[in-house]
Amino acid sequence: MDRDTLFRAARPLLRPGGGVAVVTNGAPLWSQDAEWSAALRECLERLLGHPVTATCQTDEAGRWRNQDALVRAGYRYAESLVQYDAPLTVDDMVGNVFSAMSADRLPSMQDRAAFTSEVHDALGGRDKVTERVRVWLQFGTPD
């Protein structure tokens, strides 16, 4: 996303009192600080054949880029964090991982089923884990 262009272009479209909000859902499932996340990452790296380091720009560096671009575009900046625990099934994990891939990188249906089974096995047969969800809300209001 070209933040600078987007946030500048949005300013004249805002009604009085309006603003811009950027919502990010924290770290991707494969990079969280949890045993289940490490197991998922290992399975994903085997599937892709290379280390998985993508953050989907939801990490701290991505939030800083949002903040800097909002300020450069002339917005007052504020942010808030909402945290909660949520159950996460193996199917949820796999769906999340595949939704982050480009269409040309998606495995075949047969390979998707094998990947789901591998993740399930890597979790010791567990069907559900608990994800610590961190949703960042970044707000920009025109000066």
Give per-residue pLDDT as tens, 43-88: 999 988 999 988 777 788 889 999 999 999 999 999 999 999 999 9
- Looking at per-residue confidence, does 89 or 53 come out higher? 89
CA distance 7 to 79: 16
How much is the mean pLDDT over the chain?
91
Give yes or no for residue 124 having a pLDDT over 80.
yes
Measured at the CA of 89, the angle between CA 44 and CA 136, to 5 degrees, comes to 80
pLDDT the model gives residue 57: 78
pLDDT the model gives residue 55: 79
Both structure tokens of 28: 């991707």
The pLDDT of 35-44, averaged and rounded, is 94
pLDDT the model gives residue 136: 92
